[in-house]
Chain A
Amino acid sequence: MDEHHASENQSPSGSRHVGARHYRELLWQTLTRQIVLYFLPLLLLAVFFHVQYRTMVRESQEAHLTLIAEQQAATLDLFLRERLVNLSNLVDDPQFAGHEMSEPYLQEVLSRLRLTSSAFVDVGVVDGSGNLNVYAGPVDFRKPISYANDAWFQRMRAGTGMLITDIYLGFRGQPHLTLAVKRERNGDVRIVRSAVLPEQLLALLETLEGAQEVSAAVVNTEGVYQVVTERVGEPLGRTTSIPPREPNRGFVDEPDGEGWAYAWLSETPWALVVHERPRQNGQAVLMNRRNGILLVTVVFFLGVGVVILLRARQLVGQQLAVEQHEAELSGQLVHAAKLASVGELAAGIAHEINNPLAIIAEEVGMLKDSMDPEFGGKLEPGELDERLGEIHDAVFRCRDITRKLLTFVRQTDIKLEPHLVEKILDDVIGGMLSTELLVGNVEIVKEYGPDPRPLMTDRNQLVQVFLNLVKNAVDAMPTGGTLTVRTRHESDKVAIVVQDTGTGIPPAQIEKLFMPFFTTKPPGKGTGLGLSVSASILKNFGGNIFVESVLGKGTAFTMELPYDIPD
């Protein structure tokens, strides 16, 4: 925490920049999460409902068109059936049956027929050979007319009692359809036929309910227009919309999306084909409605977006507050830990220094006693020297402690230079400690790894670490033994092992090993700072130290140091 504050004080702009970046990162994270959480389901829901709505509208439109087709087909059916009935009634009238056929009489019949429906244009009587015997109507036939080769006549001759033809031009060169009724009496065939112009049918289609919304046309099985408005096509023109025979009513989907409904008539093989009439203003209404929905959706999503943004900012604010609180808390903990370790250190120092001080106090007291007349007042020969020597030793015990403590504290004047650890180890073993190793009857084995690489480090501090470890190893082997020094160069760090064949360390003491003032050596021999200082130095260089020990077999200290010191 302190360090954090310190760096903030040194470069306030830098830390503010880092803070702003952190804020942005957090905001983006939160926004993304919120969008995924809220927008995505909303969007999916919107698409789902849109598709549902479209399908529903389409289905209802199909149903509506099909209904119109059915109604119109039914109306036409009714109209045609009525006309056939009119004609049948006429033929079955006993007066007509028995009457001599003449043009004036037929004129009279026609006018009566036209009273029932103005759709009848003319009336004619055809004999069994297809010759038009008598005719009353607007067409002036100059020469005798024979229907012998006409399809409808052949159908009649084949047995059909009454029929309705498709629209055709016929002799008069005008689109019309023919109704015909056949009666046989005493082997004498008489067919009464009447032409009907399609205008009546067209008018029927135009006046029906819902006719304004649609374009209706009547087609035959070949797709030839029978009854059609000018908008849709030419009479007797051909359409591509040929309805299927089965089912006899329904809806046909076109690939371009514009489908049409149809319904087959029952009186004659005609079908009513109903398209939705494309309307300029209708399209505009639809576009307006679509734009309206789009606008509402956009506004809605914008609103949700604003809410999400506000919420995200709020969440990020809370998150930052929590983080800051945590940082403060952990800072306090670090500070508390520091205080605790300072306290431990102080207690350790007190103990280690008080012991030599106690010796000094007693030696001085003893000298005073020796000179006190009460206790004889006489110094033994050599006593002064001996006691002063003890005082001297005790003073330098204190000095050693304070000096080592300083290495703990003073870590500023470090000189980083590339060094080979093997070289430093050689200096320590072969130079500084050679006499001690010789006297201690210690055999040295060097196992330096291949491909040595120099290390960025402070030579003096590393020497101190190696000195501590080698001295410990020698002390652990009071009757001599083997000291193995091993190095291994890895990709990012070097491992250094100092191994002895000494007494080993009891497991209970292993965990205290790196604590300040912990020592297994007799008073005055060790300060208990060697390993803790070593560990502290290695930590400063980004390294670490481990210990493995077997009682009675020996101990191995493994150090790891990175080639480059982390920041």
Chain B
Amino acid sequence: MASISQLVLSKIDSRKEGLPLYGFLGDSGDGNGHWTFRVFDSGHKIVGNPWGQATHSTASYRFGITGDAMHSYNYNDFGTDITHGDLTTQGYSSWTLYNKSIYQTDQYPWGQYYSLSRTGYVTWNGYHQYTESMEYQIGWTKLNHVLPEGIRPRRLFCNRRQTLRELNAGNNTSGQIQYYQYTTHMLDVTNTYAVSTGYNEKNKMLVMLHSGNESTSTAMTIHVFKSSVCLNKVKTIKEFFDNLTATEYFTDTWTTDNNKDWVTVVGNNGWVGFGQKYGNSKRYGVFNCNTGQSLGTTGAARQFSTWQDFQGSTTTSYSTNQANLYYTKFNHTWDGTWGMIYSSYYYYGVGLNAFCMNLENPRKFISVSVTRTSRGNPYFAWGRTGFHGGQSENTDGQSHRTYAWSFDPNDSDHTTTTKVLYGNDNCGTLVPASNDTNLATASSINSGSVIVNKTGVFGVPQSRTFLHGGYHSTSYPLMFQVNWWGKYGQHDFSYGGLYGS
């Protein structure tokens, strides 16, 4: 007979985290005299442990404390200054600059170059042989997960050709845990190259996009696998496929730029969004992947409306056409109600060129735009239903700012406009001495907008975090993904979900 504690534990998902945290590094111009690393929660309140600085000389303090052999002052491999350089047109081999690239992070709990604990202990991966790493080579094969509130992917599944593999989670080459070739479960094997895969944990739907090759083939077969067991819970991948309750497919011809850029987002309602960076722009389409509705095997019979091009401004920007690690990214909000397919606005990692979609109903989506060309930063899940990041201007003389915006978690009707809430530079206007008169009229909302579904674009304003950069003079703080946000009630007291009597 199970004890009460066992019964309680069985109801708690041990993967669940508190609201998102982010790391924040500020240093002096030479990167040696002063170095401050802090971790903040979604309210920009500090968490983690304080650090002390032992010296203001060339004793390479951070080399000893953080094991940062990549950017140590002496005996360095890749330069001394990690935050003051400005990422503009440079790629990944401009090692220190690329730390600020938008491509550093996505929904997975690590960066391409580093990992960071919630206590503020950051350590960079070695850059030697970086082009052989998981993120560089096959990061684009990772599954895009739609997960419940407070949960990020804790298992790493990669899909290529007709084999789904599980790897040790992280950016390494440490071998597979398991693999399974699912060809016998496919109802059509014309196209044999898996180029994008999405999984939804609520409806246990695994949706794969197979093409004629991994580059520019426009022939597509979309496979839908629905199981009675959860992919994130099974011991073997085979178990997921052995318990399929429905399997369907449809074919289509999709204009593509590079098939490695496809992102698949499986909505709770069975509609699936497919998006990719396309030239300097981006494209998004939504298809009905529900099974058992006799929808047929052509894309035309399943598509919602038409393909939508990104509606924000575009300029020169790059993708997997240049190298695999610049693959189009996916992230979702802490509560799992809104997702974002995104890439950079400018070259290899500055600004934001994104579609944000409701994960209950991916037919509800808008374009989101930040047209920065320098002093950028990555973007992270933020608060309950939002994202933020993207800015690293000099904090000598002004408070740090971030591009932060959030959605209404219940706003899932694609026939109406989408409400976006955001911050600004002044709390006097954020919470003004007037009422918001009508949320359907943008001009009457303070620090909020309503955007036309599908064809509308939202430009994100900056808002002040009122953080200093970590150094008293010129400082361009770098933002980091945190590998574990912690659990509410243990070390984090910011927010733990909707509880109460």
A and B associate: no
A residues engaging B (CB < 8 A)?
none
Residues on B lying within 8 angstroms of A by beta carbon are none
